[in-house]
Amino acid sequence: MNKNKAKIVHIITKMELGGAQQNTLYTVSHLNPEKFQVYLITGPGGELYEQALAWGNALVVADLIREIRPLQDFRAFVELCRLLKKIKHAPPSDAPVIVHTHSSKAGIIGRWAARCSAVPTIIHSIHGFGFHEQQPWWIRKIFIVLERLTARITTRFIAVSKANKALGESLHIISPDTAVIIRSGIAIPQFQHPRIAGDTLRSELGIPRATPVVSMIACLKPQKAPLDFIAVCDLVRQSLPEAHYLLVGDGVLREAVEREVEKRALREHLHLLGWRHDIAELLQVTDVLALTSRWEGLPRVFPQAMAAGVPIVATRVDGAPEAVIDGVNGFLLAPGNLAEMAQKIIFLLKNPLTARSMGEKGAAMVEEFDIEEMMRQQEALYEHLLAEGV
């Protein structure tokens, strides 16, 4: 093995089917093997867990979980310290090491474990913060204080949106000279040229040809407010009773979503698809992408929809305006403004030429979200920090 290879260790809480997890898995499996020896440390479970293990250089910390559990969190910290020291001292023991953390829990525990293991270079990616306005003020304050303290031992931050970078600066978590913007990337051609024809997928889903389709692709958790989406679908149905709706994802609110679908008698038109890996194909049968999030980083599904030429109706939160230009490639509304969101969706479904034009404008704006550009920028950052000996 090349003695000059740097050891890059990515740490993430859980391999769910989310943008942060997908991009982390892509990163560790595509970093230049001539320059980097790459490791992935994660907690157990998640839709991408088996894929991560199959990659071959993944290590699992059993106590690394999303929930706050002081005893388990301490055990996870101890195990992370052990693993990082083992990686550091593995041949060649004089190779430089960079620890790169993702998500709130792994971001806090992982960075302190790196510090206690004498790792000199620590990077944290902000895919959205773990605190938000919906939390009780004292919980939010605790998270902010933890982030401020942990920022002191962080060499560089990567933010996926300008909004998250600005928020971190305003709360004195990060400073302008320690943070860079690197967009969460997608494989653009995959969404421009899906493998399965739209009519074939419509037939599989039981959706009549030429019937309008509204989709939301998101975890079923409070952040994404899936019950708001159900309510929006109910409002759209009053003007367009023939429309169908796809809700793609799963999570803790699954049962609540199912109850709401039954309550509103939407079962025949609203398809709960669970986790899916054929997002490019699903977008090809989608006329409008909706997203009802209460807070975000910058949702990966936005550039996916843009690449597929699908207009977007979403909430104006955090990094959303950096992908969706209101009135250009979609519409942005205040969180919870369900009536207006339904009206915008109805407008696009009733005006397909306008919807197509918006979709085309989105497709013309998607290049900055290219996943290969994301990789180039990450590698350049690693090399810069290694050259500087930071």
Q: Collapsing DSSP states into helix, strand and coil, what is residue 34?
A: coil
Q: What are the extents of the domains in the chain?
A: 6-185+370-388, 188-367
CATH architecture of 6-185+370-388: 3-Layer(aba) Sandwich (3.40)
pLDDT digits (tens, 9 = 90+) for 240-280: 999 999 999 999 999 999 999 999 999 999 999 999 999 99
Report how far apart, in Å, the C-alpha atoms of 253 and of each of 89, 218, 329 are: 44, 11, 30
pLDDT digits (tens, 9 = 90+) for 142-190: 999 999 999 999 999 999 999 999 999 999 999 989 999 999 999 999 9
pLDDT grade for 2, boundaries at 50, 70 and 90: very low
Res 135: pLDDT: 86
For the chain, first and last CA: distance in Å?
24
pLDDT grade for 1, boundaries at 50, 70 and 90: very low
Rounded to whole angstroms, the Cα distance separating 297 from 249 reads 18
Are domains 6-185+370-388 and 188-367 of this chain identical in fold? yes
Give the chain's mean pLDDT.
94
Tell me which DSSP letter residue 5 carries: P
Res 384: pLDDT: 96
Q: Collapsing DSSP states into helix, strand and coil, what is residue 159?
A: strand
Residue 187 burial (C-beta neighbours within 10 Å; 0-12, 13-18, 19+): middle
Rounded to whole angstroms, the Cα distance separating 288 from 106 reads 35
Q: What one-letter code names the amino acid at 308?
A: A
Q: Token digits for 194?
A: 């899906």
Q: Collapsing DSSP states into helix, strand and coil, what is residue 203?
A: helix
pLDDT digits (tens, 9 = 90+) for 210-228: 899 999 999 999 999 999 9
- Phi/psi region, residue 106 (left: phi>0; alpha: psi -120 to 50; beta: rest), is alpha
344 closest CA partner among 334, 357, 330, 358: 330
pTM: 0.93
**pLDDT, average across residues 46-55:** 94
CATH of domain 188-367: 3.40.50.2000
**pLDDT, average across residues 56-63:** 93
Cβ 304 vs Cβ 191: under 8 Å: yes
Rounded to whole angstroms, the Cα distance separating 273 from 291 reads 16
Whether the per-residue pLDDT at 376 is higher than 60: the answer is yes
